[in-house]
Amino acid sequence: MTPASKLKIIIAPDAFKGSLTSGQASEAIAEGIRSLFSDAELTLCPLADGGEGTAELLTPYLNRESCLIESAKLIGLNLPEMCSRPVESRGSAAVGESILKALEQGKRHFIVALGGSATSDAGLGMLMRLGVEAWDSSGKSVEPTLSGLLKLARIDISKLDSRLSECSFTILTDVASPLCGKNGATAVYGPQKGVELFKIERIDHAIFVFSNQCRDLFGFDPRDREGAGAAGGLGYALMLIGGEAVSGAEYIVKATGFRQLLNDADWVITGEGCSDLQTLNGKLPMVVADEARKAGVSVALLSGSVETNARDQLSKRFDLILSALPDDLSSEDAMLQAAVLLTEAAAGFAERVKRGD
What pLDDT, on a 0 to 100 scale, did the predictor assign at position 138? 98
Question: Both 38 and 77 in a single domain?
Answer: no
Tell me if 255 is assigned to some domain.
Answer: no
> What is the amino acid identity at position 224?
D
Domain with 141 in it: 54-249
Region of residue 220 (left: phi > 0; alpha: psi -120 to 50; beta: else): beta
- Give the rounded percent of residues in the chain with a pLDDT score beyond 90: 88
The 10s digit of each residue's pLDDT in 161-214 is: 999 999 999 999 988 899 999 999 999 999 999 999 999 999 999 999 999 999
Is residue 76 helix, strand or coil? Answer: strand
What pLDDT, on a 0 to 100 scale, did the predictor assign at position 5? 66
Average pLDDT over residues 341-345: 97
Question: Both 147 and 167 in a single domain?
Answer: yes
What pLDDT, on a 0 to 100 scale, did the predictor assign at position 3? 47
Q: To the nearest whole number, what is the mean pLDDT of the chain? A: 95
**Of residues 73, 67, 74, the one with CA closest to residue 53:** 73
| Pairing status of strand 154-156 against strand 133-135 | antiparallel
As a residue count, the chain comes to 357
Q: In what order do the strands lie in the sheet with 109-113?
A: 66-70, 109-113, 168-173, 243-247
Task: With 0.85 as the threshold, say if the pTM is over it.
Answer: yes
Q: If residue 268 lies in a helix (H) or strand (E), which one and from where to where?
A: strand 267-270
Question: Both 217 and 309 in a single domain?
Answer: no
Question: Both 125 and 207 in a single domain?
Answer: yes
Average pLDDT over residues 155-164: 98
Distance CA 292, CA 283 (A): 15
CATH of the domain at 98: 3.90.1510.10
Tell me if 338 is assigned to some domain.
Answer: no
